[in-house]
Chains A and B, each alone.
Chain A
Amino acid sequence: MSGTFVGMPAFPKAAHEAVANTTLRANLKHATHTIRDKRAKAVAELDDWALLREAGKQIKDHTLRHLDTYLVQLEESVTAAGGTVHWAADADEANRIVTRLVQETGESEVVKVKSMATQEIGLNEALEEAGIAAYETDLAELIVQLGHDRPSHILVPAIHRNRGEIRDIFQKKMGSWGRPAPEGLTDTPAELAEAARLHLREKFLRAKVGISGANFMVAETGTLVVVESEGNGRMCLTLPQTLISVVGIEKIVPTWRDLEVFLQTLPRSSTAERMNPYTSTWTGTTDTDGPQTFHLVLLDNGRTDTLADDIGRQALRCIRCSACLNVCPVYERAGGHAYGSVYPGPIGAILSPQLRGTASDIDASLPYASSLCGACYEVCPVAIDIPEVLVHLRERVAQGGPATRQGNKVVLKPAKGHAAERAAMRAARWAFTHPAALTTGQRLASRTRRLHPRTLPGPGRAWSATRDLPAVPAEPFRDWWQRTHGGKETDK
């Protein structure tokens, strides 16, 4: 089974290794730059993009403000349409529910559509412990699962692998999971896709239980929507007898009509297509077509805690398109694994520390994994101001303050390891509110400037390992100004 994220080091340490890995850097640069330009073109085709983006934001914000109402409405609609709704407060509960539902079918294997929610809760590992084999059927998920690897991208979990690496994984591993890779498999993407088709087909055709997530759930109708490309989603959603969908509670939209916004913005933002190859919608069960038993597991797992934060809440608008990852210069260099979560990139940096809290090293470091360049906000189809939330979470880490954990209001203490920084910030604030002290410091720096090195020892090495320090000038500007314009201005 794929690796987990427990005990991840803080972001800078994980990124250190990624930055030095030239194959990874090349793979990520190639993939993200390819999709970046295509996305820009696909978006430019719609001259009402800004209005669609704003409408998407408003629909999601409204839904979140009335989430209790819409959840109850959704439950009623799904039940009326023949589905069964379950509620899971956390990952363990969701895993227990799904495991029990699979066991009740008497089956010992399931086919899965790529789903962020089930990755988030570690469902495959939980099923494995219960003796149930979960087969990932999305091509990239298959690559990750066969390679005992971890996902590194929301849309393309194997983005860190190039075609040659994928070929090697298929050749080595497919045989132990089912049909082996064809003899003489090359690394052309078409042949690799064909190998996946052949390998998974026998699993699809015999599958009795399918497990999915959903991109959207429509409260008024009880309709679920899965947006995909390969047809593995259609296989899992229509061939098995039983379908179990695990979906985060924030995936609701109020009405059928609301899909008109997201079915335009999601494909263009994620795969840069006018429309993805396949979108499936289903409402409960349909006589003689598709699964006759449908279970919906509504997942909290930190979402209500995120909802309780009026700035952080906007992260729940996310429709998992990955545009922010593809455009992020930090993601491009650090890679997805450094984020220590199934949600990498800018959205992961604001989602993981809210869903999981900021107690671990990795979660406390994620809000700092950004230069705040704002490229993510610019491309986000639901206008999540990621830099705003990052800074807000930095404050939570550095200064502590109110937060909600497992539904309880708590007051967080400042994170350990920020004491020196806190003292420095306080000292700087003191100096900056006392200009005379600042001036003294500046003059001292200028007077001793010939003694200043261009590199620094100790913690300063983080700067000077790769960058020279600027030379300190002979006098600060304010001294020149006083010399040349002295007496002219009003000194406050």
Chain B
Amino acid sequence: MSSRDLILGRVRRALGTPATPDTYDHAVDRGYLREHGHRTAAQTVDLLAENLADYRAIVHRCTGGELAGTLALLLDQRGTRSVVTPPGLPESWLSETDAVRVPDEVTNTPAGLDGVDSVVTACAVAIAETGTIVLDGSPDQGRRRITLIPDHHICVVRVPDQVVSSVPQALERLDPTRPLTWISGPSATSDIELDRVEGVHGPRTLEVVLVGGA
């Protein structure tokens, strides 16, 4: 007998015959909240900014017209010489920076990416209540490795369109077949005396640019 059949057989013997029909739709009381509190779209963006900052992400706000200048300034302040760019990143975003662009390509090795200073991406959705940005590998976000190896990640969030209040709302917007990365602040650990310390393997600096309006 295969282990598959063995395990499934054990499961079925363990469960016996269910006494009452038990459908998934009726098994769970979904009375919990879809979001916590009532906020306007602007207040939701404010909450996102607050919670991002609470977990040590650096938050900036600008208009669409100011974005290229803002990104150039942030890269300059960081001393960035090279920046990874996903293939679908709008051309205009990096139009004002002098940093060398390293396109996100399948041939990039981890060691090669380790030599790049920064990465700039968009995001799929941002969650205000938890201060989370989610990447889904779309062309303006690129492969997962590019937001992992460089030590400095700038993520652009279009507000208020890309911002939801809560985890349940975020899951509704996301496609589970895409590889997702949920990011809440720079990498951190609680492994030393259960106290949070920022900065381990992922990017140690996370900057989030909230872009709204022209």
Please give the residue numbers on chain A whose beta carbons come within 8 Å of chain B beta carbons, in ascending order.
27, 30-32, 34-35, 45-48, 51-52, 54-55, 58-59, 61-62, 65-68, 71-72, 75, 81, 87-89, 93, 137-140, 143, 155-156, 158-159, 162-163, 166, 189-190, 192-194, 196-197, 200-201, 204-206, 218, 221, 223, 229-232, 234-235, 238-239, 249, 254-261, 263-264, 267, 271, 273-283, 286, 288-290, 298, 300, 304-305, 307-308, 326, 404, 407
Contact = CB atoms under 8 A, between A and B. Distances in A.
Contacts of A48: 31-33, 36
A127 to B, nearest CB: 20
B77 interface: no
A316 to B, nearest CB: 10
A278 B148 CA distance: 11
B6 A89 contact: yes
A235 B190 contact: no
A65 B18 contact: yes
Given A35-B194, A230-B187, A407-B6, A51 B202 contact: no
A51 B13 contact: no
B18 A68 contact: no
Contacts, number: 262
Interface centre among B172, B199, B203 (most CB of A within 10 A): B199
9 contacts: A66-B15, A197-B201, A201-B114, A231-B202, A256-B176, A275-B130, A275-B182, A278-B183, A281-B180
Q: Would you list the 7 A-B pairs with minimal beta carbon distance, nearest first?
A: A231-B202, A308-B14, A231-B201, A62-B27, A304-B10, A275-B130, A230-B200
Contacts of B69: none
B14 A304 contact: yes
B3 A87 contact: yes
Contacts of B110: 204-206, 239
Contacts of A62: 22, 24, 27-28
A58 B194 contact: no
Interface of B: 2-4, 6-15, 18, 22, 24, 27-33, 36, 51, 55, 106, 110-111, 114, 127, 129-132, 137, 143-145, 148-149, 167-168, 171-172, 176-203
A55 B30 contact: yes
A407 B7 CA distance: 8
B210 to A, nearest CB: 18
Contacts of B36: 45-48
A190 B11 contact: no
Contacts of A190: 197-199
Contacts of A260: 167-168, 171
A62 B125 CA distance: 30
Contact of B199 (A27, A156, A194): A194
Nearest to A300: B7
B15 A278 contact: no
A218 B7 contact: no
Most A-side CB within 10 Å, residue of B9, B11, B137, B143? B11
Given A87-B7, A229-B187, A304-B10, A200 B32 contact: no
Residue from B3, B10, B29 with most neighbouring chain A CB atoms (10 Å): B10
B107 to A, nearest CB: 10
Contacts of A298: 7
B171 A257 contact: yes
Contacts of B12: 68
Contact of B129 (A67, A221, A274): A274
Contacts of B203: 231
Contacts of A71: 7-8, 11
A346 B26 CA distance: 31
A277 B11 contact: no
Contact of A65 (B15, B28, B191): B15
Given A68-B15, A156-B191, A239-B145, A61 B27 contact: yes
A220 B51 CA distance: 32
A146 to B, nearest CB: 13
A275 B179 contact: no
A200 B200 CA distance: 10
Contacts of A231: 148, 187, 200-203
B3 A93 contact: yes
* Residue among A143, A254, A283, A304 with max Cβ neighbours from chain B (10 Å): A304
A139 B196 CA distance: 12
A286 B178 contact: yes
Contact of B188 (A35, A93, A277): A277
Nearest to B197: A189
A68 B11 contact: yes
B22 to A, nearest CB: 6
Given A47-B36, A139-B200, A235-B148, A282 B179 contact: yes
B192 A280 contact: no
Nearest to A137: B201
A277 B14 contact: no
Contacts of A93: 3
A163 B127 CA distance: 34
Nearest to B27: A62
B22 A88 contact: no
A204 B4 contact: no
B194 A32 contact: yes
Given A229-B200, A277-B187, A192 B32 contact: no
A173 B179 CA distance: 36
B201 A277 contact: no
A139 B191 contact: yes
Contacts of B111: 205-206
Contact of B14 (A52, A282, A307): A307
Given A55-B32, A231-B200, A307-B11, A205 B114 contact: yes
Nearest to A304: B10
Contacts of A88: 3
Contacts of A138: 191
Nearest to A32: B194
A34 to B, nearest CB: 5
